[in-house]
Protein backbone atom coordinates (compact mmCIF):
# COMPACT_ATOMS: atom_id res chain seq x y z
CA UNK A 1 0.00 0.00 0.00
CA UNK A 2 2.79 2.39 0.75
CA UNK A 3 4.11 1.98 -2.77
CA UNK A 4 0.74 2.95 -4.30
CA UNK A 5 0.37 5.98 -2.01
CA UNK A 6 3.91 7.09 -2.89
CA UNK A 7 3.15 6.76 -6.61
CA UNK A 8 -0.12 8.67 -6.30
CA UNK A 9 1.64 11.40 -4.26
CA UNK A 10 4.35 11.76 -6.91
CA UNK A 11 1.67 11.94 -9.64
CA UNK A 12 -0.21 14.64 -7.74
CA UNK A 13 3.01 16.59 -7.16
CA UNK A 14 3.91 16.27 -10.85
CA UNK A 15 0.46 17.49 -11.95
CA UNK A 16 0.67 20.42 -9.51
CA UNK A 17 4.11 21.41 -10.84
CA UNK A 18 2.86 21.25 -14.43
CA UNK A 19 -0.15 23.38 -13.51
CA UNK A 20 2.07 25.95 -11.79
CA UNK A 21 4.42 26.08 -14.79
CA UNK A 22 1.50 26.49 -17.17
CA UNK A 23 0.04 29.33 -15.11
CA UNK A 24 3.45 30.99 -14.93
CA UNK A 25 3.83 30.86 -18.73
CA UNK A 26 0.28 32.07 -19.36
CA UNK A 27 0.68 34.95 -16.91
CA UNK A 28 3.94 35.98 -18.58
CA UNK A 29 2.37 36.01 -22.02
CA UNK A 30 -0.41 38.33 -20.95
CA UNK A 31 1.68 41.46 -21.64
CA UNK A 32 1.17 43.36 -24.84
CA UNK A 33 3.59 42.87 -27.71
CA UNK A 34 5.02 46.37 -27.20
CA UNK A 35 6.12 45.51 -23.66
CA UNK A 36 7.77 42.26 -24.72
CA UNK A 37 9.96 43.85 -27.39
CA UNK A 38 13.57 44.37 -26.51
CA UNK A 39 15.22 47.59 -27.54
CA UNK A 40 18.13 46.83 -29.80
CA UNK A 41 20.73 49.06 -31.34
CA UNK A 42 21.95 49.09 -34.91
CA UNK A 43 24.65 46.81 -36.23
CA UNK A 44 27.44 49.34 -36.41
CA UNK A 45 30.42 47.03 -36.02
CA UNK A 46 30.81 47.82 -32.33
CA UNK A 47 28.04 45.49 -31.11
CA UNK A 48 25.75 48.48 -30.60
CA UNK A 49 28.06 50.31 -28.22
CA UNK A 50 28.48 53.46 -30.28
CA UNK A 51 24.75 53.72 -30.89
CA UNK A 52 23.86 53.11 -27.26
CA UNK A 53 26.35 55.69 -25.97
CA UNK A 54 27.57 58.01 -28.70
CA UNK A 55 30.12 59.67 -26.40
CA UNK A 56 32.26 56.58 -26.09
CA UNK A 57 35.64 57.15 -27.70
CA UNK A 58 35.38 54.19 -30.06
CA UNK A 59 34.68 56.09 -33.23
CA UNK A 60 37.58 57.33 -35.29
CA UNK A 61 36.10 60.79 -35.75
CA UNK A 62 35.35 61.37 -32.07
CA UNK A 63 38.77 61.82 -30.50
CA UNK A 64 41.45 63.29 -32.68
CA UNK A 65 43.89 66.13 -32.42
CA UNK A 66 42.28 68.10 -35.24
CA UNK A 67 38.88 68.23 -33.52
CA UNK A 68 40.50 68.98 -30.16
CA UNK A 69 42.56 71.80 -31.68
CA UNK A 70 39.42 73.35 -33.17
CA UNK A 71 37.74 73.08 -29.79
CA UNK A 72 40.62 74.93 -28.11
CA UNK A 73 40.44 77.71 -30.70
CA UNK A 74 36.70 77.92 -30.20
CA UNK A 75 36.91 78.31 -26.41
CA UNK A 76 39.71 80.89 -26.66
CA UNK A 77 37.92 83.00 -29.29
CA UNK A 78 35.75 84.97 -26.81
CA UNK A 79 38.81 86.11 -24.82
CA UNK A 80 39.82 89.60 -25.88
CA UNK A 81 43.49 90.43 -26.16
CA UNK A 82 44.61 87.28 -27.99
CA UNK A 83 45.98 88.00 -31.46
CA UNK A 84 47.09 84.54 -32.48
CA UNK A 85 47.02 81.01 -31.10
CA UNK A 86 49.39 78.12 -31.71
CA UNK A 87 48.37 74.68 -30.49
CA UNK A 88 50.36 71.47 -30.45
CA UNK A 89 49.95 68.10 -28.80
CA UNK A 90 52.45 65.72 -27.29
CA UNK A 91 50.54 62.63 -26.22
CA UNK A 92 48.35 63.73 -23.31
CA UNK A 93 50.05 67.12 -23.06
CA UNK A 94 48.35 70.05 -24.77
CA UNK A 95 50.54 73.10 -25.35
CA UNK A 96 48.90 76.40 -26.22
CA UNK A 97 51.01 79.42 -27.15
CA UNK A 98 49.07 82.65 -27.33
CA UNK A 99 50.31 85.95 -28.72
CA UNK A 100 48.97 88.72 -26.53
CA UNK A 101 48.09 92.16 -27.83
CA UNK A 102 51.00 94.54 -27.18
CA UNK A 103 48.70 97.21 -25.78
CA UNK A 104 47.95 95.07 -22.70
CA UNK A 105 49.95 95.68 -19.54
CA UNK A 106 51.92 92.90 -17.89
CA UNK A 107 49.22 92.46 -15.22
CA UNK A 108 46.50 92.23 -17.87
CA UNK A 109 48.60 89.74 -19.83
CA UNK A 110 49.00 87.59 -16.71
CA UNK A 111 45.23 87.70 -16.10
CA UNK A 112 44.61 86.71 -19.71
CA UNK A 113 47.10 83.86 -19.39
CA UNK A 114 45.41 82.59 -16.21
CA UNK A 115 41.96 82.86 -17.81
CA UNK A 116 43.13 81.01 -20.94
CA UNK A 117 44.71 78.27 -18.81
CA UNK A 118 41.54 77.74 -16.78
CA UNK A 119 39.20 77.84 -19.79
CA UNK A 120 41.24 75.36 -21.82
CA UNK A 121 41.82 73.02 -18.88
CA UNK A 122 38.10 73.05 -18.02
CA UNK A 123 37.07 72.23 -21.60
CA UNK A 124 39.84 69.69 -22.26
CA UNK A 125 40.01 67.61 -19.06
CA UNK A 126 41.76 64.63 -20.65
CA UNK A 127 44.87 66.69 -21.40
CA UNK A 128 47.57 68.17 -19.22
CA UNK A 129 47.28 71.78 -20.43
CA UNK A 130 50.25 74.17 -20.65
CA UNK A 131 49.52 77.74 -21.76
CA UNK A 132 52.26 80.25 -22.51
CA UNK A 133 51.82 83.88 -23.47
CA UNK A 134 54.12 86.10 -25.52
CA UNK A 135 53.79 89.71 -26.61
Q: Is the pTM of this model over 0.75?
A: no
- d(CA 96, CA 11) in angstroms, rounded, equals 82
pLDDT of 38 above 90: no
Q: What is the mean pLDDT of the chain?
A: 79
Nearest-angstrom CA–CA distance, 20 and 12: 12
User: Residue 68: how many CA atoms within 13 Å on its side-chain side?
Assistant: 22
65-134 to CATH, choices 3.40.1390.30, 3.40.50.300, 3.30.70.1350, 3.30.300.130: 3.30.70.1350
Confidence of residue 67 (pLDDT cuts 50, 70, 90): confident
pLDDT at 132 over 90: yes
Give me the phi and psi of 84, to 5 degrees please.
Answer: -150, 150
Higher pLDDT, 19 or 2: 19
| Residue ranges of domains in the chain | 2-52, 65-134
**Distance spanning both ends of the chain, measured CA to CA:** 108
Amino acid sequence: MEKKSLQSFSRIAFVMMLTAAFLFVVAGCGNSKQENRLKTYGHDGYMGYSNSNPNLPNRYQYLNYDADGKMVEQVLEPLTGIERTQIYFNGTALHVNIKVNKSLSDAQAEQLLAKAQSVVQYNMPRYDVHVEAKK
